[in-house]
Structure 1
């Protein structure tokens, strides 16, 4: 079983796998450890990753990048509308109001959802993983930003299903980094000691995240998280782009913004310049040839000027740090270390501000680019039964408070309760008790819309069905289980009606836990059930069974105030159906359709790859054979054949770049076969000429060996006296025949020119060697017959007369003689 962690970044993706007892970041087919988050759609196929990135300039309208933040967002979302003018490709409003991406694929205009595009990217990452592991990949853990809302997380989860992946967990970036940091630490304090508090700062290309985590031996607990979803490395790139656009407008009279290709090229150069300025404080040049209208442009920039331009972004670094520290209720002195990851943390000015805020040097012990993927792989290893990992528990947090509101059709007022507060531990389950006589609706939403980096604070509506009053007409007790699972996704996972079978006791006595009365006749238990194992159906069922058994036990318990005389109260738990609506997630039918379409695109990509491979094989054969005709094959082909073959190669090359540019796979295979019919004999003559001497040499050595054996037999060598005359005659005859065959073939071959087909092939010589060995080896290796009984008896008698020492010496001599004889018999 595979264990894979995937860091899906805004700009690049990383894959880490658990193998050979450790975590390894794997490289793609370009030997690159990072895969660009790009998908390029073309007239015949898709290109994903590095191949797609090379199409950004040439096929900019159909090459999709920077789509990570469109997950779960509506087309009318202010963020989407702000991004739309910056993108070289087109956005489209889907029927459900979400953001679609419009491109031209297979000569048709297509609109893909963000889930489909991310699914394509995950398909590529899955393929890369399988090539590295040499086995299928299904289970994985995928990273998401800590500020992703319920809708965004559901969207990423759907994308993993489209790619055919079983996502065991959506883990936040900073939690993955914390796991990669803590699991290898051998000196963490014990659970009884004060925890070690570490700050993790992650600034990538598009966002800024901070988490403060408490470590004890075998566990980590996230104390607080903070973020700026719109601050990252690309802000600094855009500042440089804006500056140079203005400069080129005044210096070269070029309106760069009117040319998407020029803007994309400028972005690429500005990103390179930004990285160079992180390592150099001197003036650095920017040169772009044929930038626009065949004009070469150039300019200069230094780090000081760059930091002045980006002052507004650098000022925003401190706020998330301050918020995270306040929420954790720690002081700066309580912080053990500050670990930084993410590409943008390499900017010196950002490092300085982080270090200044916490009053200590920042630490870079983790790989800035690969730490998230490594943490994902570690989490996958912990969750997978295929790996043995030391026990390490992870407690994450709910980034935004969640409120539940309820109403019945016949009730006028609304009730609501904040079921998960900000920074509440996750994953977590709670059971809320309601007293209802009829079905009712629950609406979940984020409590503080102003804190969300997302315009819609609604999560979903959940209708609890089949609620009926008790037989005596009283309200029924309905227990509703709400949950934030390991993916950080909220759900109403179950509801049950508690039916009293005997009305001998008050319904408030059924629950042994103390209650807190909530508005709208809802009650929430102070004691909550924690489910650290994740959101699987089995776990949920076991929790519900446990809850039911507790309730039954509480019902059977006698009231001590009544002196044990009060009859027992029996209860029955009935599962209630829940109808979910307004949850921003793909319908099952739509998702199934996307999965099938992804399979079709994979098949199409495979067919195009096979077609390109067939075409490339023809081109490669043309160039290879043409080169060798004037080189190593020159003496093996006649001048007439060489001229005719060279003309055919030239015609094939011209055909490839004209009529043969777009042909079926079978046509290329036929062209290659036609070329090979002429080229293969030349190749065979060259190979035979090179390998034939070695084959004849091997046959000659065998013949000399067996001839020596025959001569030894004729000289009455005692080693071979046990062999019969008939056996030796067969060996001698076989050797003689093969000697004659070899001499005649060598003489005949020596009379032929290299341009002629050989009279004897290497395969023929190998067959002769095998025939020779089959006849001679059984005779040569025939063992001597065992000694007779009578001589052994006389030897024993002699040993008895001469004593033990003599017997021992004779046995030793006999053993030496057998060893010597055995060595001499090993002829072949």
Structure 2
């Protein structure tokens, strides 16, 4: 067990972690490793975390949240008859993490690595150091959050190609509760060089919550002519409701919102009730997400890769759970998207690895089971207008998703009173359904509805290679679930840490190939992963021949 700890001092949530038997583990505090970065000051005590977050609904005027956005500034909080600096509030969060970790581990917490956004300036970094000192901690190092997360992914994937002499380019996309960071790193022989970094210290999940809060306020004004902005308790409840709605929309296509007795108007109670669709939420936040993609492009341009290609994008921060984030990144970069590590914990776990390395502790690999292929359905896309039948592959559950997993997407009927849809399930990475492997199909009769009515599709993928596909019509009782066993169930999940360098190179290259070449490469790769002994050696030679031919044809003169 490590005697040094890693701390992710986050805008919305914080995490403290350490090494156990060489592997990073987040420490549960009050039953959860994710501690809300909320502080409530009463006359008698300082309350931090989940309890403070719950009490905020009754005492919003005594609560401080998102203090990270004020670090390094002259801002002062005036409450309970005293004045507090951001450094003191952050110190109170760190003290709570320290006490909780000491209670959980039974040992002292003294030496720590604390993470900060890569885009933090000198004043913000000095303020973080001061907060650590006030909490009675010895800060071994301030570690940039994207670099911290890369440590976890490196231990997860540990590419043999890097140790074999080839460098790898990573883009770490970190979208948290209050800040956004993007860094381009080159990993070579286990050494990380940050080639470029940029970000926005005032962009994150809090801003997405604000968009939903405004949607709620507009609905109250439209339906009941009520504006509760001056009611602190009502606004605290709306903020909580916005955050909960945002989280639920990452796993479902629509959320029915109901908040009773929110406030009063003319002596009568005011209730909020409405439905929020994922599509509506994505439209609200898309300009903000587009700005993060623009910053990611800027970071790649600043890195001046000069012939080197981006091999993978690593997702960090709870806000990356929003499905639109991955969609935009795939469209923008076409590189492998990795989210095998819990995005809320990745930075804290990386800080624990760095703390262990600084303390001379051995660090082991991290193993997870992931989906080896993307799973999705045939759908009608923009490119299908001139085709005899639809051939667009619409992903539902992406490759490299940690298993077991449940993913949901929304589709829409094509004509009024549509009677039936044929659900055809495929696995593969091509944009064309016909170029992927067909897993199975079934018919789903529809209740009569207008054109463009939603159809909810859920994929539940277990560790045995079984996918349960559930289809339903929102607003009706019409639903159907079918279990499909993947043909390659024996290799449907795999430990990324155990993949060979040849297999990694093949998968990285496949993401950049045109469909015809991609199909050929995936055929060779399937033969390689299924083979053993001499057959595997021959299959590997075939893959290497493919690499050599492709590189020879595409080498710049």
Deviation sequence 1:740-777 (CA, Å, 0-9, x none): xxxxxxxxxxxxxxxxxxxxxxxxxxxxxxxxxxxxxx
Report 1:278-677 matches (<5 A): 278-281=250-253, 283-293=254-264, 294-330=269-305, 334-385=309-360, 387-389=361-363
User: Aligned in 2, Cα 1:273/1:210: closer, same or farther, shift over 3 Å?
Assistant: same
Distance in 1 (CA, whole Å) between partners of 2:331 and 2:222 is: 39
User: Aligned in 2, Cα 1:287/1:333: closer, same or farther, shift over 3 Å?
Assistant: farther
> Secondary structure at the residue paired with 1:54?
helix
Offset, 1:185: 4.2
Distance in 1 (CA, whole Å) between partners of 2:20 and 2:289 is: 40
Contact 2:179 2:200 in 1 (8 A): yes
Quote the residue 1:59 is aligned against: 59
Quote the residue 1:249 is aligned against: 221
User: Aligned in 2, Cα 1:266/1:99: closer, same or farther, shift over 3 Å?
Assistant: same
* TM-score for the superposition, normalised by structure 1: 0.42
Deviation sequence 1:88-126 (CA, Å, 0-9, x none): xxxxxxxxxx2111111xxxx111111111111111100
Deviation sequence 1:395-435 (CA, Å, 0-9, x none): xxxxxxxxxxxxxxxxxxxxxxxxxxxxxxxxxxxxxxxxx
Please state if 1:133 is matched with 2:100. no
Paired positions, count: 360
Distance in 2 (CA, whole Å) between partners of 1:276 and 1:116 is: 33
Distance in 1 (CA, whole Å) between partners of 2:51 and 2:307 is: 46
Quote the residue 1:47 is aligned against: 47
Q: Which runs of 4+ in 1 moved over 4 A?
A: none
Offset, 1:259: 1.0
Please state if 1:7 is matched with 2:36. no
Distance in 2 (CA, whole Å) between partners of 1:21 and 1:190 is: 22
User: Aligned in 2, Cα 1:55/1:331: closer, same or farther, shift over 3 Å?
Assistant: farther
Contact 2:22 2:363 in 1 (8 A): no
Offset, 1:144: 0.5
Offset, 1:280: 2.0
> Secondary structure at the residue paired with 2:331?
helix
User: Aligned in 2, Cα 1:238/1:19: closer, same or farther, shift over 3 Å?
Assistant: same
Offset, 1:308: 2.2
> Secondary structure at the residue paired with 2:338?
coil
Could you say what the CA RMSD is over the residues aligned between the two structures, in angstroms? 1.9
Offset, 1:228: 2.3
Distance in 2 (CA, whole Å) between partners of 1:125 and 1:50 is: 12
After alignment, is 121-130 or 187-196 more displaced? 187-196
> Secondary structure at the residue paired with 1:257?
coil
User: Aligned in 2, Cα 1:302/1:168: closer, same or farther, shift over 3 Å?
Assistant: same
> Secondary structure at the residue paired with 2:261?
strand
Distance in 1 (CA, whole Å) between partners of 2:147 and 2:155 is: 12
Distance in 1 (CA, whole Å) between partners of 2:306 and 2:321 is: 26
User: Aligned in 2, Cα 1:366/1:332: closer, same or farther, shift over 3 Å?
Assistant: farther
After alignment, is 307-316 or 257-266 more displaced? 307-316
Contact 1:339 1:366 in 2 (8 A): no
Distance in 2 (CA, whole Å) between partners of 1:361 and 1:235 is: 27
Distance in 2 (CA, whole Å) between partners of 1:300 and 1:185 is: 41
Distance in 1 (CA, whole Å) between partners of 2:306 and 2:328 is: 18
Deviation sequence 1:322-358 (CA, Å, 0-9, x none): 1111111127971111111211111111211111111
> Secondary structure at the residue paired with 1:201?
strand
> Secondary structure at the residue paired with 2:229?
helix
Contact 1:14 1:25 in 2 (8 A): yes
Distance in 2 (CA, whole Å) between partners of 1:37 and 1:2 is: 24
Quote the residue 2:518 is aligned against: none
Q: Runs of 5+ in structure 1 lacking a partner? A: 74-97, 392-828
Structure with the larger helix share: 1
Contact 1:188 1:215 in 2 (8 A): no
Please state if 1:100 is matched with 2:76. yes
> Secondary structure at the residue paired with 2:244?
helix
Contact 2:39 2:89 in 1 (8 A): yes
Distance in 2 (CA, whole Å) between partners of 1:297 and 1:18 is: 46
Quote the residue 1:32 is aligned against: 32
Deviation sequence 1:538-572 (CA, Å, 0-9, x none): xxxxxxxxxxxxxxxxxxxxxxxxxxxxxxxxxxx
Contact 1:196 1:216 in 2 (8 A): yes
Offset, 1:191: 6.4
Contact 2:162 2:187 in 1 (8 A): no
Please state if 1:182 is matched with 2:160. no
Offset, 1:307: 2.1
User: Aligned in 2, Cα 1:130/1:252: closer, same or farther, shift over 3 Å?
Assistant: same
Among 218, 236, 239, which residue is 1:267 paired with? 239
Distance in 2 (CA, whole Å) between partners of 1:247 and 1:13 is: 33
Distance in 2 (CA, whole Å) between partners of 1:246 and 1:144 is: 36
Distance in 2 (CA, whole Å) between partners of 1:47 and 1:375 is: 27
User: Aligned in 2, Cα 1:379/1:199: closer, same or farther, shift over 3 Å?
Assistant: same
Offset, 1:20: 2.6
Quote the residue 1:277 is aligned against: 249
Contact 2:23 2:364 in 1 (8 A): no
Distance in 2 (CA, whole Å) between partners of 1:57 and 1:390 is: 43
Contact 1:12 1:37 in 2 (8 A): yes
For the pair shown, which has the larger CA radius of gyration, 1 or 2? 1
Offset, 1:299: 1.0
Quote the residue 2:24 is aligned against: 23
Offset, 1:361: 4.3
Offset, 1:218: 2.8
Distance in 2 (CA, whole Å) between partners of 1:2 and 1:361 is: 35
Deviation sequence 1:508-542 (CA, Å, 0-9, x none): xxxxxxxxxxxxxxxxxxxxxxxxxxxxxxxxxxx
